[in-house]
Amino acid sequence: MRIVMGAQNCGFGPVSELVAVSRQLVAHERVFVGDGVAAVFARRNADAFDAMYDTSGLSESTRSAAIEDLLRGSDHVVSVMDAELVLRSVVAGRPVAMVDSLFSFWQLTRPLTEILDLCTAMPRSRFAAADQHLSGLTPHERIVAAHLLATHSVVQNFPGVTERAADLAALGGGSRLRVTGSIVDIEGLRDVVRTAEPDYDVLINIGGFKNFLLDFDVNNEYVRLIHRWIPDLLRDWPRFRRVLVCGGPFGEGREQTLRAAGGRADCRLLRQRELLQVAATAPDYLMAPGLTTLHESITLGRLPLAIHEQHYAHVFTMRALDGTLFGRMGGRFTDVVPCHPLPEDDVAGTAALVELAGRIREDQQLYAEYRKTFNERIEQYRALTPPQRRQGIEELGELLNGAPTHSVMTEILGAPDAA
C-alpha cells in the first residue's frame, strides 16, 4: 500500500508524531509531502520514509499540482493535524486518517452543527471549490472540520478529549473517532541505551519553535531570551558543565556553542532518535511543554521540568495539567509578571507571549526576576526524590493513556499481509 503522509507545518510536534506513525508502517510505502519546519524535521529523520517531497519554495500552483499528483497515485493518506491535506484527499477520493494530539485544544466560534452542515454541503469536484466553501471557518475550526470529513479520526488522549469526542458522536460525526495513548516512536524509545554514560549534564529541549507567528528570525524574542539566559544558567549551576540546548532554531547551519564559568552549552538540532538517547541519560531534563516531548519523556520514565510557554497551546497544556506534579512544578511567565494580560486566543495569546519575552529580555529588573524564579523551579525539580518522580510520571501516564497507536493504525490500514 502506498501511503502519502503530511503534517501541520507548526513546530515539531505534528511532524514528530508523523515520523512516529510512519516508523510503525514499515510494511507499506511511505511518502512524505510537506514544507517549512515540517520538511526540516522530516529531512533530519528521512529514514522514517521511503520517499520525500519537500514543497518549500514552490509556487502555489506548482505545489498544488505536485500534491494532487501524489494523491492520485496513493492508496491511503495520513495527515497529522494538516487540514488542507485532508481536504485535498477527500476531493481526490482517497481514504484519509486525520491524526491529532490537540483535539481538545481547538477553539470554536460557531456551533459544531454549523461546521457539520458545511462539511455535508461541501462540493467535492475541485479543491479550490471545497476550500472556498470552508473559507469562513477559522484555522481551528478547519481542523475540526477535517475530523468530520476524514475517513478515520485518531486523537491522542488529553483532558477534554472525551467530552469533545462525545459532542461529535452526538452529531453522528464521531463514530469513526478513536482515542489513543502516546503517539511516539515506540521502537526508538525501546532501543535507547539507558545505562549509557551521559554526554550532557542537562538537556534543554525547546522543540521546533516555528509556527504561524514564531520564526527563527522574526518574532523570536523567546529564543533570544533563552540565548541570554543560557550563560547565566552555567554561572548559577556549576554542576551543569555540559549542556545541550536542542531545537529548531539551531538547525540548518545555526549551530553554536555558548561558554561561561567553565561550562559549555551546545545549541544543536539532533535527529529524533539521537535526541531520545540524550533524554534517556541526561541527569536533568528541561523542556518546552509540548505534548509529544512530554509523552516521550513519560515513556522513557523521565519526569521533565517544563520551561516557560512559547505559544498559547503551551499555556493550554500547562493549565490542563495543573493538577499534576509536572503542571504545578513547571515554569511560567506568570512567575515573572503575575498580572500580565493574556488574550484567550491562539494568535493573540501567542503574540502576547512574544511581547512578554521581549520585555523580560530587555528589562534588567524583569530579567533578574526571570532568572531568580527559574532557578527556584530548577532547585525544586532537582530536590525531588526518585519516588516523587516516579509518582509524577505515573499520574501523567494514568491521565493520558489510551489504545496503542500501532494497533489503531493497523486496524485502519489493514495488516501488512493484507496491504
| pLDDT tens readout for residues 308-322 | 999 999 999 999 999
Number of Cβ atoms within 10 Å of the Cβ of 47 = 12
User: Can you tell me the distance from the alpha carbon of 373 to that of 338, in angstroms, rounded to the nearest whole number?
Assistant: 12
- E-state strands within 166-295: 177-180, 202-207, 242-247, 256-260, 263-268, 284-287
* pLDDT, tens digit, 9 for 90 and up, residues 71-120: 999 999 999 999 999 999 999 999 999 999 999 999 999 999 999 999 99
Beta strand pairing call for 202-207 and 242-247: parallel
| Cβ atoms of residues 248 and 268 within 8 Å | no
* Residue among 137, 82, 70 at smallest CA distance from 110: 137
Residue with cell 497544556: 317
Place 175 in a pLDDT band, splitting at 50, 70 and 90.
low
pLDDT value of position 414: 77
Place 174 in a pLDDT band, splitting at 50, 70 and 90.
low
User: Can you tell me the distance from the alpha carbon of 158 to that of 298, in angstroms, rounded to the nearest whole number?
Assistant: 14
173-202: average pLDDT: 90
- Residue type at 295? H
330-348: average pLDDT: 94
What pTM does this model have?
0.94
For residue 358, give the C-alpha cell: 521581549
Helices (H), 237-320: 272-281, 291-300, 312-320
DSSP category for residue 403:
B
